[in-house]
A = this chain, B = another copy of it.
Amino acid sequence: MSNFKEQLKQARISVDQNLQKWLPLPDNLSARVVEAMRYATIGGGKAFRAFLILTTAKMFDLPEANAINIATAMEMIHAYSLIHDDLPSMDNDTMRRGKPTVHIQFDEATAILAGDALLTNAFEVLADETTHPDPMIRTKLIKMLAYLAGKDGMVGGQMIDLIGEKQTLNLEQIEMLQGKKTGALLMFASTASAVATKAPEEQLNALKTYAKCIGLMFQITDDILDVVGDSATVGKTLGKDKDETKSTFVSVLGLEAARQKAEELGVQADDALSIFGEKAITLKEAAHFILERNY
């Protein structure tokens, strides 16, 4: 198994263990919302964002115990965004990660609340002493995540995504949409360990370039998979973009040019990592995985 696949698997295991600690079932009537939070996070998905945090933590000597908390907060935010994105008034998806979405498995109100709580409690995890001994680092991470996940980042991107269902977007608008919707959290995941260890500006910038490239690659391959993927392998409903005549990288560029753009971004991502030498080999593998993924 490659370093990448091994570390991806390990990230899932580490985050799941930590989620058990942060999301214990309470012994009162509010247990239902915690059940939904656990359903949406534990064992769910590839934990790619957690992998990025844990792998860069090794590069910058951030202690694993700190990195696991940051990765857990990250996966809580990612899971909340999927729960809300899947709601009937949003993307109206019934399957996610190969199982029924939260509002199907529970109900719509519980899904909204579970998303709200995952978002809220992610900041509880980041603010905790066990995430980093220096409170200045903790507030820095919190501010960065709140900025990247909020109106100027992910939520702003989701707003543009909804608008894009009703009006045609040009390439620049699709890139902005993606930069916010998918790119913002990948930016946090790629740079959090460097920020937490006060890495030199040059190294931080290299990771920012890497994050931008893999964010775009991720969305392009997602758009490609929506057209050519196999629903059972991908684990969610496909062909939706076309049904909804949504503007995507594929609809604007065409399939071949979209594939080529993804390839070019892969080269750029590699180049950006060159300053880290051998240390960045797993991050490079991750970029290649995105390029070649079929799920």
Chain A residues with CB under 8 Å of chain B are 23, 26, 28-30, 32-34, 37, 80, 84, 87, 89-90, 107-110, 112-113, 115-117, 119-124, 126-128, 134-136, 138-140, 142-143, 145-147, 149-152, 155-160, 162-164, 169, 173, 176-177, 180
Contact = CB atoms under 8 A, between A and B. Distances in A.
* Copies of this chain, count: 2
A119 B121 contact: no
A180 B127 contact: no
28 contacts: A26-B156, A29-B159, A30-B156, A30-B159, A30-B180, A32-B163, A33-B155, A33-B159, A34-B151, A37-B151, A80-B116, A89-B107, A89-B108, A89-B112, A90-B112, A116-B119, A117-B151, A117-B155, A117-B156, A119-B119, A120-B150, A120-B151, A123-B145, A127-B146, A135-B136, A139-B139, A139-B142, A142-B142
Given A109-B162, A146-B120, A29 B173 contact: yes
B135 A109 contact: no
A143 B124 contact: yes
Contact of A29 (B136, B152, B163): B163
B112 A33 contact: no
Contacts of A84: 112-113, 116
A173 B27 CA distance: 12
B151 A33 contact: yes
Contacts of A147: 124
A120 B155 contact: yes
A108 B109 CA distance: 13
Nearest to A144: B127
List 10 tightest A-B contacts by C-beta distance, closest first: A30-B156, A124-B146, A120-B150, A89-B108, A127-B143, A33-B159, A135-B135, A117-B151, A117-B155, A135-B136
Contacts of A138: 135, 139
Contact of A150 (B121, B142, B150): B121
Contacts of A32: 159, 163
Given A107-B89, A124-B150, A146-B120, A113 B33 contact: no
A109 B127 contact: no
A197 to B, nearest CB: 17
Nearest to A150: B120
A123 B121 contact: no
Nearest to A28: B176
B87 A30 contact: no
A159 B32 CA distance: 7
A158 B124 contact: no
A38 to B, nearest CB: 10
Given A123-B142, A135-B139, A142-B142, A30 B151 contact: yes
